[in-house]
A and B are shown apart, each in its own frame.
Chain A
Amino acid sequence: MASKFIHAIYNDDDLLLQAVKQVREARYHIGEIYTPMPVHGLDKAMGLAPTRLAITSFLYGVVGFAVSVAMMNFIMIEDWPQDIGGKPSFSFIENMPAFVPIMFELTVFFAAHLMVITFYMRSKLWPFKQAENPDVRTTDDMFLMEIDAANHNVDELTKFLYDTGASEIKLIDNK
Chain B
Amino acid sequence: MYTLSSKLKLTAIIFMIVGAIGLVIGFIQAPSNLDDVREMMAAEEHHGESSHADESEANFAQAEHGMLLDDEPGRNAEGEHTAEAGAHDTEHLEHKLHQLQNKPWAAIYVAAFFFFMISLGVLAFYALQYASQAGWSPVLFRVMEAISAYIVPGGIIMFVLLALSSFHMNHLFVWMDPEVVAQDEIIQNKTAYLNVPFFLIRAAIFLAGWFLFRHFLVRNSRRLDEATDNYYFKKNFKLAAGFLVFFLISESIMSWDWIMSLDPHWFSTLFGWYLFSSMFVSGITVIALVSIYLKSRGYLPFVNNSHIHDLAKYMFGISIFWTYLWFSQFMLIWYSNIPEEVVYFISRIENYGLPFFGMVVLNFLFPLLVLMNSDYKRVNWFVVMTGIVILIGHYLDVFNMVMPATVGESWFIGIPEISAVLFFGGLFTFVVFSALTKAPLLAKRNPFIKESEHFHY
- Whether B331 and A100, one on each chain, are in contact in the complex, defined by CB atoms closer than 8 angstroms, is yes
By beta carbon, the residue of chain A nearest B327 is A100
User: Cβ of B335: which chain A residues have Cβ within 8 Å of it?
Assistant: 97-98
Question: A120 to B334, alpha carbons, bound, how many Å?
Answer: 42
**A43 → B minimal CB distance (Å):** 15
Q: Which of B334, B372, B374 interacts with A97 by CB under 8 Å?
A: B334
Distance between Cα atoms of A149 and B334 in the complex (Å): 69
B337 within 8 A of A: yes
Determine if B231 is an interface residue (Cβ-Cβ < 8 Å).
no
Distance in angstroms from A135 CB to nearest chain B CB is 33
Q: Which residues of B contact A100 (CB under 8 A)?
A: 327, 331
How many Å lie between the Cα of A100 and that of B335 in the bound state?
12
Contact B334 A58 (CB under 8 A): no
Q: A98 to B331: give the CA distance in the assembly, Å.
A: 7
| Residue A134 interfacial (CB < 8 Å) | no
A127 within 8 A of B: no
Instruction: Give the chain B neighbours of A97 by CB distance below 8 A.
Output: 327, 330-331, 334-335
On chain B, the residues within 8 Å of A54 by CB distance are 374
Q: Which of under 10, 10 to 19, 20 to 34, or 35 or more describes the interface residues of A?
A: under 10
What residues of A have a CB within 8 angstroms of the CB of B374 in the complex? 54
**Assuming A86-B337, A97-B335, A98-B335, is B330 touching A58 (CB within 8 A)?**
no
Scoring A residues 22 to 54 as 1 if CB is less than 8 Å from chain B, else 0, what string do you get? Answer: 000000000000000000000000000000001
Question: Complex: how many Å from CA A58 to CA B374?
Answer: 13
User: A58 vs B368: C-alpha distance in the bound complex, in angstroms?
Assistant: 12
Distance to closest chain B CB from A76 (angstroms): 14
Chain B nearest Cβ from A102, distance in angstroms:
12
Q: Which A residues touch B327, using CB under 8 A? A: 97, 100
Instruction: Name A49-74 residues within 8 Å CB distance of B.
Output: 54, 58
Q: Note all chain A residues with C-beta closer than 8 A to B337.
A: 86
- Which B359-392 residues have C-beta < 8 A from chain A? 372, 374
User: Which chain A residues border B330 with CB–CB below 8 Å?
Assistant: 97
Chain A residues in 8 Å Cβ range of B334: 97
Q: How far is the CB of A67 from chain B (nearest CB, A)?
A: 19
Q: What chain B residues lie within 8 Å of A58 (beta carbons)? A: 372
Of A58, A97, A98, most B-chain CB atoms within 10 Å? A97
A68 to B331, CA, bound (A): 18
Cβ < 8 Å to B, chain A residues 78-112: 86, 97-98, 100
CA distance A86 to B327 in the complex (A): 20
How distant is A38 from chain B, measured CB to nearest CB, in Å?
16
Q: In the bound complex, how far is the Cα of B330 from the Cα of A100, in angstroms?
A: 12
Please report the C-alpha to C-alpha distance between residue A54 and residue B334 in the assembled complex, in whole angstroms.
35
Q: How far is the CA of A100 from the CA of B324 in the complex (A)?
A: 11
Distance to closest chain A CB from B101 (angstroms): 36
How far does the Cβ of A97 sit from chain B's closest Cβ, in whole Å? 5
Closest A-B pairs by Cβ, 4 of them: A97-B331, A97-B334, A98-B335, A100-B327
Q: A97-B330, A98-B335 are in contact. List 10 more A-B contacts (CB 8 A).
A: A54-B374, A58-B372, A86-B337, A97-B327, A97-B331, A97-B334, A97-B335, A98-B331, A100-B327, A100-B331
A-B contact pairs, 12 of them (CB 8 A): A54-B374, A58-B372, A86-B337, A97-B327, A97-B330, A97-B331, A97-B334, A97-B335, A98-B331, A98-B335, A100-B327, A100-B331
Residues of A within 8 A of B (CB): 54, 58, 86, 97-98, 100
